[in-house]
Structure 1
Amino acid sequence: MALAIQTITFAQQYTNSWLHPAPKKADQPLKLGVLSSAQINAAAAIHPAESHPDILLYGIASRDNATAKSQARKYRFMKSYGSYEELISDPAIDIVYISVPNGLHFEWASKALDAGKHVLLEKPFTSNAAEAKRLVECAERSGKILEEAFHWQFHPAAHRFREILEDEKHGKIIRTRAIMTSTPEIPAGDIRWQYDLAGGSLMDMTYVLSFTRFALKAGVPPKVISAKARPATHDPRVDSAMEATLLFKTQTMYDVHSTIYTDMKRGWAMGIVPRFWELPSIEVETEKSTIYFYNAMMPHIYHYIGITDKASGRTKYEKCYSGGPQWKERGKPHWSTYRYQLEAFIDKVRGREPVHWVTHGESVAQMETIDDVYRKSELPLRPTSTLAM
């Protein structure tokens, strides 16, 4: 039900923009440029920027000038651009949020960095690990901030989840299982089905690996034990679904078996009922407990962390919409994962220490893991941009 919770987020963000008036902007706020007219922009960048005092909705670009002008009017941007090149060439823009198709991430993120812009880049970071490494080199050369937008990691619920896992009373982690599916299916013709644009369920639903690696504080797994793809009927290079088991090694050097499952065409229960309950989630079994983070992807809408004691069978539930072990007194209960993410991103750009951060190393490790799963499944890696060669 990934599409459903995204729709709910859009509605929630729109409502919050009315219920919680925008604050007065700083004297010299950072100017934001949005690259593309993707549907996710409103929830992921526009409404969060409206509610942040130190960022201004400055410009939005589309490859169609009329679309760009329409989006600028709708969301009250100061400028619109009929090409991506025009936006990144504007010296007034400080930050570029990039939500183009996966296969174009490297091209436009590298060009924005070369133009002297800070970049908040939608996941997945790039098409593959080779591009990821080249993009990191580009960021380091430019001296600008580059971050992969794994927004869920910035929410207080994610921090409380990790805090629970680190509590010694639960014992060592034994295994994990993460799942993300779409029912109804991702529509035919959507860019997520296009191999040349780095489509596929593992690419689009890369959250399952993010959940897993976050829980384990792990890098690249030493081994992908198994990986089985369900190829798309229109193109066998594209994974309609992917199930894999990976062997991770924790920071304290013990092994954990982790299963991930992604599905862009999830069948309905009994063929008639959409699996509306099947939200992106992760279950972690430890020596003494089973810890389940329900709706880890969009915890601002609704979530719970269920902690089941294996000896007694009793389960207690926790929720965390603000504060938590990292944000403490900062943040508000109505803030979305994207708003928390923007708070950290602006802190980083302004030279302050962010509460949480997705490092370059973590993004490269994420893409290396995706590549390893594709290899094990015997599907080809997503194609590398000629600009990265």
Structure 2
Amino acid sequence: MAMLLQMTTFLTQYLYGANNNVPKQSDALRIGILSTAMINSAALINPAKSHGGVIISAVASRNFDKAKKFAKQYDIPKAYGSYEELLNEPGIDAVYISLPNGMHGTWAKKALNAGKHVLLEKPFTANADEARSLVQLAIEKKLILVEAFHWQFHPAAHSLKAILDTGKYGPIIRTYARMTTPKGSIPRSDIRWQFGLAGGSLMDMTYVISSTRYFLGAGTPREVAEAKARPTSQDPRVDEAMEATLRYDIDGRMVESKIYSDMWRANALGVVPRIWETPSIEIETEHAVIYFYNFMMPHLYHYITIHDKRTGKTTTEKHYSGGPQWGNRGETWWSTYRYQLEAFVDMVHGREPAHWVTLDSSIAQMDTIDMVYEKSGLGKRLPTPDDVDPPRVA
């Protein structure tokens, strides 16, 4: 289902972007892209069309012909046949890194050392040790670095968080976050299945941990009570699926949070793909059971149901713009990526963003991922060695 959501986002953002081109400002942020990954169009290129403060200036690939083709397709002025060439370009202010997971840390460090701000795709790094090293460098360089958890920038996420924070429904008792993709949707040749590129379902579907932590307002769990991986038949080191139970200390209370990620979800009755299983989270509090359907791509469609245990009534909410953090900013057609870009530009220009994913949060995110992998017996992921040339699919 996650793949279908992304494809739908590509289409909608292309259509909205084409109809909402705006003139570029003289001080527009010039961004370069490291990789020719499919996600680039939805995550940055199309959102940038409606932002006067952003110009996509260059794209780089380890294959120059591929970079040129990509640049021509998306009307990007410059193409480079190596990532280093783009980072050495003085006209680039920031970079968006959508390389394979195991390469995130290495190239984010190189970008920071080249004086570029960094919008870094999730997961932040291969593991928490690498995350700490990267964060320290960003602090030393006084440059902006942020993990691209785009969903957190959407008004729907903020609205639910505000409801929880009021305490109207009492403290959180438990949570359950799920994200699946129908069996066969991700080809076995895809980089997400490769251990050497820090692949695995929990790495790719790290949203289940991100959503849990965001709504709990938590860092790392007190413990991972249990974690069960379903390894791929091709490589027992890579999780095809992962389910785990995390235990958090929240204001002196223990909250039990279950997570489930599955990149090869079996069809219902062996035939029907479970396309209804959008990334969702259920949150039970003392007085309510709250369900956020499609938290990952709420701009396409979502709903938040609140079942009040005291009255037995269920109410439904939807939030596509405004909200407690954006106020009058934003449009109903803005995607999560467009909201994210708005915040990124604000941060680079020294303005207070409506929302932000802190560096401490990204470290806690990787700490949690490491804890789950270690509990499962698979062991934490490792950075891709710098001298390894990955398959030319990103």
Q: CA deviation at 1:184?
A: 3.6
**Match for 1:43: what amino acid?**
A
Q: CA deviation at 1:386?
A: 5.6
Q: What is the distance in 2 between the residues matched to 1:78 and 1:203?
A: 33
Q: What do the CA deviations read for 1:4-31 (whole angstroms, capped 9, x no partner)?
A: 00100001111112232x1111112111
1:131 and 1:385 in contact (8 A); partners too: no
**Match for 1:18: what amino acid?**
A
1:34 and 1:60 in contact (8 A); partners too: yes
The residue aligned with 2:322 is: 323
Q: What is the distance in 1 between the residues matched to 2:312 and 2:194?
A: 45
In the TM superposition, 1:355-370 aligns within 5 A as 355-370=354-369
The residue aligned with 1:183 is: 182
- Per the normalisation by structure 2, the TM-score is 0.96
Instruction: Describe the shift of the 1:234–1:133 C-alpha distance in structure 2 as closer, same or farther (beyond 3 A).
Output: same
Q: What is the distance in 1 between the residues matched to 2:18 and 2:358?
A: 34
Q: What secondary structure does 1:72 align onto?
A: helix
Deviates more, 1:92-101 or 1:137-146: 137-146
In the TM superposition, 1:114-263 aligns within 5 A as 114-185=113-184, 186-250=186-250, 252-263=251-262
In the TM superposition, 1:1-389 aligns within 5 A as 1-20=1-20, 22-185=21-184, 186-250=186-250, 252-384=251-383
Q: What do the CA deviations read for 1:249-295 (whole angstroms, capped 9, x no partner)?
A: 12x23110000000000001111111111000100000110011100
Q: What is the distance in 2 between the residues matched to 1:51 and 1:75?
A: 15
**Match for 1:215: what amino acid?**
F
Q: What is the distance in 2 between the residues matched to 1:8 and 1:216?
A: 29
2:240 and 2:264 in contact (8 A); partners too: yes
Query: Percent sequence identity over matched residues?
Result: 58
Deviates more, 1:172-181 or 1:312-321: 312-321
Q: What do the CA deviations read for 1:332-374 (whole angstroms, capped 9, x no partner)?
A: 0000000000000000000001110001100000000000001
**Match for 1:203: what amino acid?**
M
Q: CA deviation at 1:385?
A: 5.1
Q: What is the distance in 2 between the residues matched to 1:167 and 1:268?
A: 40
RMSD (Å), alpha carbons: 1.0
Q: What do the CA deviations read for 1:100-155 (whole angstroms, capped 9, x no partner)?
A: 00000011100000000000000000000010001001111211100000000000
Q: What is the distance in 2 between the residues matched to 1:258 and 1:32?
A: 38
2:177 and 2:208 in contact (8 A); partners too: yes
Q: What is the distance in 1 between the residues matched to 2:351 and 2:264?
A: 42
Q: CA deviation at 1:71?
A: 1.1
Q: What is the distance in 2 between the residues matched to 1:51 and 1:19?
A: 9
Q: What do the CA deviations read for 1:30-62 (whole angstroms, capped 9, x no partner)?
A: 111011000000000111111110111110111
Runs of 4+ in structure 1 deviating by more than 6 angstroms, as ranges, are none
Q: What is the distance in 2 between the residues matched to 1:386 and 1:221?
A: 30
Q: What is the distance in 2 between the residues matched to 1:249 and 1:355?
A: 27
2:176 and 2:283 in contact (8 A); partners too: yes
Unaligned runs of 5+ in 1: none
Q: What do the CA deviations read for 1:281-326 (whole angstroms, capped 9, x no partner)?
A: 1000001100111000000000000101123332111000000010
Q: What is the distance in 1 between the residues matched to 2:383 and 2:39?
A: 24
2:196 and 2:384 in contact (8 A); partners too: no
Q: What secondary structure does 1:265 align onto?
A: strand
Q: What is the distance in 2 between the residues matched to 1:120 and 1:240?
A: 27
**Match for 2:29: what amino acid?**
L
Q: What do the CA deviations read for 1:183-211 (whole angstroms, capped 9, x no partner)?
A: 14321111000001000000000000000
Deviates more, 1:175-184 or 1:304-313: 304-313
Q: What is the distance in 2 between the residues matched to 1:7 and 1:17?
A: 15
Q: What is the distance in 1 between the residues matched to 2:213 and 2:38?
A: 28
Q: What is the distance in 2 between the residues matched to 1:88 and 1:296?
A: 34
1:130 and 1:384 in contact (8 A); partners too: no
Q: What is the distance in 1 between the residues matched to 2:256 and 2:128?
A: 23
**Match for 1:235: what amino acid?**
D
Q: What secondary structure does 2:361 align onto?
A: helix
Q: What is the distance in 2 between the residues matched to 1:171 and 1:143?
A: 40
Q: What is the distance in 2 between the residues matched to 1:164 and 1:176?
A: 15
Give the paired residue count.
Answer: 385
Q: What is the distance in 2 between the residues matched to 1:183 and 1:19?
A: 33
**Match for 1:37: what amino acid?**
T
Q: CA deviation at 1:169?
A: 2.0
Q: What is the distance in 1 between the residues matched to 2:133 and 2:50?
A: 34
1:306 and 1:317 in contact (8 A); partners too: yes
**Match for 1:231: what amino acid?**
P
